[in-house]
Amino acid sequence: MNNQPRIEFSASSAHAPEPGPTASGRPATGWIRIGLIAALMLLTTTMPALSSDSAGRDLLSFADHLYAQGDYYRAITEYERVMFLHPGTPEAKTARFQIARSYFQSGKYTQAIERFRTLVMDLPSDPLGEQAQFMLAETYYRKGEYQSSIDGWETFLRSYPHSGRVDAAHIRLGWCHLRQGSAARAAEEFRKLPPDSPLAQQGNGLAEEALRAGDIPRKSPYLAGALAIVPGAGHLYIERPKEALGSFLLNGLFLWGAVRTNDHGNHVAAGILAFFELGWYSGNIFTAISGAHAYNRQADKHYFDRIDSQYRISISAAPSGGFITAFQMSF
């Protein structure tokens, strides 16, 4: 076997020199890698929060848009969405207040009272708590629950004596007393406004109007009922001459018919006529008494409409937050 020389080729692969260690003994690429990972972790933790805040503001802005358009029920839905998706945020707190105002603006006073009362309890030292107490008292007033409104205004004045809405609260408190028939207390409340208040002139004017409440013409229901013993007299007293004439003729006709029928010996027919006459006669007394109450209600309405048109107070909620208290004085 011929031994031929073997020729072997060996190639040694060239290796790039490793980077030298840093002063701390760790390769430089390791520090770069750690820096990139840290930056990535920071972005992943902060971006969702920033995105969430922006989304909460956008949702609240859309709900405010619906509120400004008067679409209160859809606005309530969107405010609820803000509270559900972004709990514990300033947007969620604002949404709670806006829901209460949406109920107020839509005339759902019972629901508004419930929401405002909850805000007052949860946020006593927050500006929204102050606004909620003010609106709670106003909502009671709009609902016609004047004693509850008085309690609400007095609580507001005790809790927030330095509020910029104190003068408005005094005026509305005076209105509550006036609605309850306490003209002297109403005048006292109207006069509590300081001389330098922008509403001082209105307060003085309302105080004078309150003292004129005793001049409202009234009819006594008791006197109307007593006069109605003579059919038609009670209606004349309450200034309803046509009803007075009708009552007099109708009762007179039935009474005459019953007597004449009885005189002719037809006692059954006379009894029937007397039965109907008793109903007409009782109705004559009842309508005279109820007419006196209606007269007084109408006189009160005319009185309040007149001074309300001259010294109008309007509380409206601004969609951007807070609310506007506007007064109008006519001469």
Query: What tens digit of pLDDT does each residue of 9-26 get?
Result: 344 444 444 444 544 455
Domain boundaries along the sequence of the chain:
55-106, 125-215, 221-309
Whether 98 and 86 have beta carbons less than 8 Å apart is answered as no
User: Residue 313's closest CA among 140, 164, 146, 169?
Assistant: 169
Give the span between the Cα atoms of 290 and 164, in whole angstroms: 45
* pLDDT 10s digits, 189-225: 999 999 999 888 889 999 999 999 888 899 999 999 9
With a CB cutoff of 8 Å and minimum separation 6, the contacts of 169 are 134, 137, 153, 156, 157, 163
Q: Which of 109, 99, 184 is nearest to 148 (CA)?
A: 109
pLDDT reported for residue 111: 97
**Distance separating alpha carbons of residues 206 and 215, to the nearest angstrom:** 15
Please give the mean pLDDT across all residues of the chain.
82
Structure tokens, 226: 């007593």
Q: What share of the chain is helix, strand, coil (3-state, %, to 5)?
A: 70, 5, 25
pLDDT digit string, tens, across residues 78-108 = 999 999 999 989 999 999 999 999 999 999 9
Give the list of residues 6+ apart from residue 157 with CB closer than 8 angstroms, or none: 166, 169, 170, 173
Q: How far apart are CA 284 and CA 250, in angstroms?
A: 10
Taking the CA atoms of residue 270, residue 274, residue 276 and residue 280 in that order, the dihedral angle to the nearest 10 degrees is 140
pLDDT at 30 over 70: no
**151 phi and psi angles, rounded to 5 deg:** -60, -40
Question: CA of 51: how far to CAs of 81, 84, 233, in Å?
Answer: 16, 16, 79
What confidence tens digit (pLDDT) does each residue in 262-309 have?
A: 878 887 887 887 888 788 888 888 999 999 999 999 999 999 888 888
- The pair of structure tokens assigned to 26 is 């760790």
What is the percent of the chain with per-residue pLDDT over 90, rounded to a whole number?
53
pLDDT (0 to 100) of residue 270: 76
Residue 153: its pLDDT value, please?
97
Which residues contact residue 232 at a Cβ distance below 8 angstroms, ignoring those fewer than 6 apart?
A: 243, 244, 245, 246, 247, 248, 251, 284
**125-215 CATH choice from 1.10.630.10, 1.25.40.10, 3.10.580.10, 3.40.50.300:** 1.25.40.10
* pLDDT in the model for residue 178: 94
